[in-house]
Structure 1
Amino acid sequence: MTFHAVGEHRIETDGPLRLVVVGAGGMGRAWTGAIGANDDAELVGIADLAPAAAESAAEATGIAGLAVGSDAVELARRTGADAIVNATIPEAHHPVTMAALLAGLPVLGEKPVAASVAEGLSLAAAAEHTGQLFMVSQSRRYHRYLHEAKRRLDPLGTIGIVSVDFFQSPHFGGFRDEMASPLLLDMAIHQFDMARFLLDADPVSVSCEEYNPAWSWYDGDAAAAAVFAMEGGARFTFNGSWCSPGFETSWNGAWRISAERGTVLWDGEGEPTAAPDEATTPADDPGLGIAGSLREFIAAVRHGTEPMGRVHANVMSLAMVEAATQSASQGRRVVIDDVLDRSYHAALATERNAEVLAVMKAWPSVRDALNQRSDSE
Structure 2
Amino acid sequence: MKIPLSRPFWEKAEEEAVQKALRTTLGTGDGPNSEELSHQLKELTGAGFAIAVTSCTHGLELVMASLGIGSGDEVILPSFTMSSTANAVVLAGATPVFADIDPVFANIDPADVGKRITSRTRGIIVVHYAGMAAPMEMITNLARRHGLFVVEDAAHAIGASYQGRQLGAWSDAGVYSFHGTKNVSCGEGGAVITSREDLSRFMDVYRANGTNRKAYLEGIVDKYSWVDRGTSFFLSDILAALAVSQMKKLGEISRKRSQVAGFYTDFFRKFEPALILPQVPEGSDPNWHIYALRLPTPQQRTVFIREMRKRGVEVSYHYVPLHSAPMGAKLAKGKPVRLPVTDLISRTLVRLPIYPGLTNQEMEYIAASARGILDRIL
Same fold? TM cut 0.5: no
- TM-score normalised to the size of structure 1? 0.29
Higher strand share goes to which structure? 1
Question: Structure 2 length normalisation: TM-score?
Answer: 0.29
